[in-house]
Structures are given as structure tokens and as C-alpha cells.
Amino acid sequence: MRTHQLLTIASVCLLLTAVTSAQTAIKPASGQSLSVAASPVSVDHLLNGGPAVWNQIAAKHVALNRTPPLYDTDEPAAVEIPVVDVRLARAGGKLIVQLSWRDATHDATTLTEVPNTPPETRFLKVPTDADDRFFDAAAVMFPAKADAGAIAPSLQMGDAEHPVEIYYWNGTRGSMVMQAQGRSTTKRTGQNFPSSGIYQNGRWNVTFELPDLAAGTTVAFAVWNGSQKDRDGRKYFSVWQVLE
């Protein structure tokens, strides 16, 4: 009986420890919260208004990490983009996010228009000659389940119980909404979202129109540098930040 009581007490202690860990896990560490401004201007003006609009909103300097090499053939990559400036505003029932970062190279191009002819009836499929080119891109990731009090999903594209939504923008291909529930599960939804991207004076300013995420929601950011052959999991990424 005494052994059973000791086991029960130990189990309760473990449970309390787990609950405490779960409660503290959602609290942002010092410096990992993001303030959101209430903007009096329209969503369209925020998306296309340029620096004059966004300079009135304070920027948060969010540190970026470099993913480790995924394959033995990966070339070494120096940390060329150590930080991204993040500005956030609520307007028109949307959360507008601007990411701004320095990039010495403008890796984007205009793709040729895709023929209207159905692919299966084309006479010949010719791959692009630029198979060694990669393009600048950025993304915002947040939990797919609207529960501001939940523990943040895994940074490796969420997990089965905590899926994520990824609003991805590419300097060449534009915007697309993707979903994931773990590493190597990312898929396109076929949807896009309003966005804008301007490269000027060695700097990208990319603006995303997101759903109106509630305070307490965790968000993370990623940047791809085309000149470093970034693609897929080869990128820069932030840890989770918490919206105020």
C-alpha cells in the first residue's frame, strides 16, 4: 500500500510538472513579443503605400538562424542575412505584416507566360535552361488552429496535432498559401493572398495580407536568399514570436 501511495504521489508530481511546463511554454521569452499597430489607413494603402506608410510603425529586429546543411552536397553558406525587420498593423479586419531585410543581390526574374495549351497536348516539353537559378523569397508561419493559448507547434513545419499555415511569397512566382503538419509534409492549397514586394537600394520590403490573427498567436518568419541557392528547407528562419 505504501509503495502504491508513493507511486501515486510521484505521478501527481509529474503531472503538475507537465502542466506547469505547458503553461510556461506559451509565454514569450524576453524580446520575443511583437507589438501590432492599429492603422488608420486602408489595407490597400498598407500593401502598396511604400516606405512613407510603414516608417510610421516601429520595427522589431528579429534574429534569423541559418538552417544546417541538409545534404552532404550542400555548399557552405555564410550568414548573409542575420536579421529581418518586422512591422505589423491591423486594418480592415486583416493583419498586415511587412518584412524588410538587406540583400546585396536581387534574385528575381519575370517568367515567360505559361501557354494555354493543356500540358498533355503540347508537342514538346522543354525544361528551363536556368536550372541553377534560385530566387529570393519570404514566408510567415502560424498555427492552423486558432487557439492563441496553445503551445507553439514545432518550428519544423508543425506536427500532426499542431498543423501550420504558411503564407509564402516568392520574388518571381508571387504568393501562395501552403499547409504542413511536419517536416516534408508541406503542400500547396491552390490559394494565394494579396502581397507586394519591392527591392530597392539593396533591400527587400515584402508585405503580406494575413487573417486577423488574435493577440497571443505565435508567428515565425523565414527568408530565402537566391544567390546562396536557398530553396525548400535551405533558408533563414526565426524562432516563434508572440503577437501582443
Q: What are phi and psi of 129, to 5 degrees?
A: -75, -20
Q: Is 60 exceeded by the pLDDT of residue 2?
A: no
In a domain, 128, yes or no: yes
In a domain, 147, yes or no: yes
| Domains held by the chain: number | 1
Host domain of residue 72:
29-243
Q: What is the mean pLDDT of residues 143-164?
A: 85
**Any bridge partners for residue 96, and if so which?**
89, 209
Residue in this structure with the C-alpha cell 523569397, named with its chain if needed: 137
**What's the burial of 228, exposed, middle or buried (CB within 10 Å: 0-12/13-18/19+)?**
buried
Using CA atoms, how far residue 183 sits from 94, 157, 234, in Å, is 28, 6, 13
- Whole-angstrom Cα distance, residue 84 to residue 96? 16
The CATH number of whichever domain residue 230 belongs to comes to 2.60.40.1190
**Any bridge partners for residue 99, and if so which?**
86, 206
Length of the chain: 244
- Strand pairing of 33-34 and 241-243? parallel
Candidate ranges 139-143, 159-163, 228-232; pick with highest mean pLDDT: 139-143
**pLDDT computed for residue 14 by the predictor:** 33
pLDDT-based confidence at residue 19 (cuts at 50, 70, 90): very low
**Residue 125: other Cβ atoms inside 10 A:** 7
- Whole-angstrom Cα distance, residue 15 to residue 33? 28
Q: What's the pLDDT tens digit per position in 164-205?
A: 999 999 999 999 999 999 988 999 999 999 999 999 999 999
- Whole-angstrom Cα distance, residue 81 to residue 98? 16
In a domain, 5, yes or no: no
In a domain, 14, yes or no: no
Amino acid at 142: F
**pLDDT computed for residue 22 by the predictor:** 34
In a domain, 237, yes or no: yes
In a domain, 66, yes or no: yes
Q: How many CA atoms lie within 13 A of 49 on its CB side?
A: 15
In a domain, 60, yes or no: yes
In a domain, 22, yes or no: no
- Whole-angstrom Cα distance, residue 68 to residue 71? 9
Residue in this structure with the C-alpha cell 498598407, named with its chain if needed: 46
